[in-house]
């Protein structure tokens, strides 16, 4: 009886998790009518407002009413005098459960930022935001977790009190921690692995039964790395530690304008040249960081005092110099760094300054992906400056500049976590940005020195690596200059965060070693992470019988093909 019960629990738990897959989709178009709510609304009552105002109440001084347009019913909050005068629904929050939140939003005139907020006994939690428009519906996708269990109120707010807030197709879906981890595991299986079937045969074409096969991964297909600095050029221990782990890097300061032209007219690329040469020797890809930095505090000392015409000339000279010098040698360019939070160049050269620079950079180096790069999009959703919606606005601005011809613009998420990560918020922001079709990277990952720092780092890296649309990860952990988070000490001995990185590298197949034997027909089936492998085949009946092969396990374009059949001759 006890055995049957255990089996039932295992099967039921698996079925429950399978019955609640996570929906990674998002819509970034403004539509005539909202789409159906995700998860059929989850725990939200009357999510499509088809039953009048059942489940919904006014909050603050707002008045609410059900309206209908084009056959679609929705709720409207009007007569608003305060940002949080709105429409609300009560629910019971569960401690530590990840919640996925979504809604379709419209405003009565112009456009306005609308945020989803949850009020609890402990305070307010922000669940996401969207720049809503009039005359069409925009999807707000967000997420949040709670530190306690208890009653809560979900509502939608806007600082623009002149607009009515229209809401429809609302969804709030809770998941368990086990289900969230299962989402990650299933996504990794689909995104990063492939099933291979190998048959070994002898020189006469006969199958070799019971042959021993060792797969040793030499290089992973997924770009994972750390920032590095000039100290690597003359430190063998630093070199060995770095090259044994990472396949991509970003130079901390050495390629920036204030490093290569600290004195006007005197350029010096010797250090960045040497670092790029070192990276190339070890087949480490390099992200170009950066062409410009829009923060006024990080300009070369001689730049801020230049009048506009001279600044424009200096900008063009810098752009042509650095992008031409490294043309075709990088995997990415951070072109105008942090131009969501800052606007030094725009304040001096006009609101189209960033867009023009991106277009000029593309004209010089059309083969390298040009990236936006900013912070707090996935780290802290209270920062309204760099929400996913603001990224979308900046993308439209660059693509709307004269001469844009469809070239790719990447999205860099710096990922400097100064508070504990909120994984549902992180995931939903990535979902929204992924709907652009742009390449997505985490570019400067670190976690502030706080209790559970290593645990939080592991959460962030797992979430990013498993997300279907994240194409690479770079940590901001340069030796001796690791401001928030260090992986090793002065002697390259692992610190707790270094242990996390090494554990995940092994778990994700980096330098993976796997041994197995063929069956009676010489076949062996294995599931391997994408990457480059050396395959060693031996046979127990003949000690001299061995063979080395190179094997590439790569993603396949055809989504329905899950296996790759390889025949190896010994």
Element (H, E) at 461: helix 453-466
pLDDT of residue 12: 31
pLDDT band at 175 (very low <50, low <70, confident <90, very high): very high
Give me the pLDDT at residue 560, please: 44
Q: How many CA atoms lie within 13 A of 205 on its CB side?
A: 0
280 contacts: CB under 8 Å, gap ≥ 6: 329
pLDDT per residue as tens digits for the range 64-113: 999 999 999 999 999 999 999 999 999 999 999 999 999 999 999 999 99
Q: Using an 8 Å Cβ cutoff, are 506 and 516 in contact?
A: no
Q: What is the pLDDT of residue 2?
A: 25
pTM of the model: 0.93
Cα separation, 475 vs 247, in Å, equals 12
- Is residue 565 very low, low, confident or very high in pLDDT (cuts 50, 70, 90)? low
Q: What is the pLDDT of residues 275-323, one digit of tens each?
A: 999 999 999 999 999 999 999 999 999 999 999 999 999 999 999 999 9
Starting at the edge strand found earlier in the chain, the sheet holding 165-174 runs: 63-69, 72-78, 165-174, 99-107, 138-144
**Of 338, 379, 414, 458, catalytic:** 338
Binning the chain into helix, strand and coil, the percentages to the nearest 5 are 30, 35, 40
Q: 125-143, pLDDT tens digit by residue?
A: 999 999 999 999 999 999 9
pLDDT top residue among 202 and 413: 413
Distance spanning both ends of the chain, measured CA to CA: 51
pLDDT at position 178: 96
What are 324-358's pLDDT values in tens digits? 999 999 999 999 999 999 999 999 999 999 999 99
Q: Give yes or no for residue 15 having a pLDDT over 50.
A: no
pLDDT at 1 over 60: no
- Cα separation, 128 vs 124, in Å, equals 12
The pLDDT tens digits for 368-413 are 999 999 999 999 998 999 999 999 999 999 999 999 999 999 999 9
In the prediction, which pLDDT does 9 show?
25
| Sign of the four-CA dihedral 346, 347, 351, 356 | negative
The percentage of residues in the chain with a pLDDT greater than 70, rounded to a whole number, is 93
Burial 412-448 (b: 16+ CB within 10 A, else e): bbbbbbeebbbbbbbbbbbbbbbbbebbbbbbbbbbe
Catalytic residue among 48, 261, 379, 444: 444
pLDDT score for 6: 25
The backbone torsions φ and ψ at residue 234, rounded to the nearest 5 degrees and listed phi first, read -130, 30
Say if CB 475 and CB 445 are below 8 A apart: yes
Q: How confident is the model at residue 200 (pLDDT cuts 50, 70, 90)?
A: confident
pLDDT given for residue 568 in this prediction: 56
Rg (CA), the chain: 27
Cβ atoms 295, 373 nearer than 8 A: no
The closest alpha carbon to 373, from 395, 353, 401, belongs to 395
pLDDT at 459 (0 to 100): 98
**For this structure, is 458 an active site residue?**
no
Q: What whole-number distance in Å separates Cα of residue 199 and Cα of residue 518?
A: 8
The rounded distance, in Å, linking the Cα atoms of 173 and 21 is: 11
Q: Is 48 a catalytic residue?
A: no
Closest CA to 368 of 324, 313, 417: 324
Asked if residues 430 and 440 have their Cβ atoms less than 8 Å apart, the reply is: yes
- pLDDT above 70: residue 545: no
556 versus 263: which is more confidently predicted? Answer: 263
Give yes or no for a cis peptide into 290 (omega within 30° of 0): yes
Distance CA 467, CA 430 (A): 8
């Amino acid at each position: 009886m006890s055995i049957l019960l255990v089996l039932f629990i295992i099967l039921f738990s698996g079925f429950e998790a399978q019955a609640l897959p996570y929906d990674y989709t998002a819509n970034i178009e403004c539509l005539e009518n909202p789409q159906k709510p995700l998860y059929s609304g989850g725990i939200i009552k009357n999510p499509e407002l088809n039953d009048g105002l059942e489940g919904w109440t006014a909050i603050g001084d707002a008045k609410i009413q059900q309206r209908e347009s084009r056959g679609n019913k929705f709720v409207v909050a009007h007569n608003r005098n305060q940002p949080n005068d709105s429409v609300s629904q009560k629910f019971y929050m569960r401690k530590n459960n990840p919640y996925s939140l979504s809604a379709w939003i419209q405003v009565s005139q112009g456009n306005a930022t609308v945020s989803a907020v949850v009020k609890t006994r402990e305070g307010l939690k922000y669940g996401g935001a969207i720049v809503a428009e009039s005359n069409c519906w925009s999807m707000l996708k967000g997420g949040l977790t709670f530190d306690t269990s208890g009653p809560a109120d979900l509502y939608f707010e806007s600082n623009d009190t002149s607009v009515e807030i229209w809401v429809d197709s609302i969804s709030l879906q809770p998941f368990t921690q086990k289900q969230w981890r299962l989402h990650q595991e299933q996504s990794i299986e689909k995104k990063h692995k492939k099933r291979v079937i190998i048959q070994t045969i002898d020189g006469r074409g006969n199958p070799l039964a019971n042959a021993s096969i060792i797969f040793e991964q030499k290089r992973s297909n997924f770009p994972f790395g750390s920032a590095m600095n000039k100290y690597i050029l003359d430190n063998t221990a630093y070199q060995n530690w770095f090259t044994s782990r990472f396949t991509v890097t970003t130079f901390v300061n050495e390629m920036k304008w204030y490093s290569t032209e600290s004195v006007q007219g005197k350029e010096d690329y010797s250090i960045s040249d040497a670092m790029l040469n070192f990276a190339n020797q070890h087949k480490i890809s390099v992200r170009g960081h950066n062409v410009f930095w829009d923060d006024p505090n990080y300009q070369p000392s001689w730049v801020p005092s230049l009048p506009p015409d001279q600044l424009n000339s200096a900008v063009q000279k810098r752009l042509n110099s650095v992008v031409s010098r490294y043309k075709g040698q990088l995997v990415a360019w951070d072109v105008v760094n942090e131009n969501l939070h800052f606007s030094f160049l725009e304040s001096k050269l006009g609101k189209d300054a960033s867009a023009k620079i991106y277009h000029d950079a593309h004209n010089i180096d059309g083969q390298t992906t040009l990236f936006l790069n900013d912070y707090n999009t996935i780290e802290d959703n209270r920062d309204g400056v760099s929400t996913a919606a603001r990224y979308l606005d900046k993308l439209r601005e660059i693509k709307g500049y004269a001469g844009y011809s469809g070239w790719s613009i990447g999205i860099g998420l710096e990922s400097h976590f100064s508070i504990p990560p909120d994984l549902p918020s992180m995931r939903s922001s990535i979902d929204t940005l992924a709907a652009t079709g742009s390449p997505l990277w985490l570019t400067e990952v670190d976690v502030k020195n706080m209790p559970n720092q290593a645990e939080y780092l592991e959460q962030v890296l797992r979430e990013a690596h498993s997300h279907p649309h994240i194409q690479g990860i770079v940590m901001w952990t340069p030796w001796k200059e690791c401001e928030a988070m260090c992986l090793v000490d002065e002697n390259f001995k692992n610190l707790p965060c270094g242990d996390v990185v090494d554990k995940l590298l092994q778990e994700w197949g980096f330098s993976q070693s796997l041994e197995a034997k063929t069956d009676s027909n010489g076949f062996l089936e294995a599931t391997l992470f994408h990457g480059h492998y050396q395959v060693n085949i031996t046979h127990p009946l003949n000690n001299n019988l061995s063979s080395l092969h190179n094997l590439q396990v790569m993603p396949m374009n055809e989504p329905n093909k899950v296996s790759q059949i390889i025949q190896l001759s010994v």
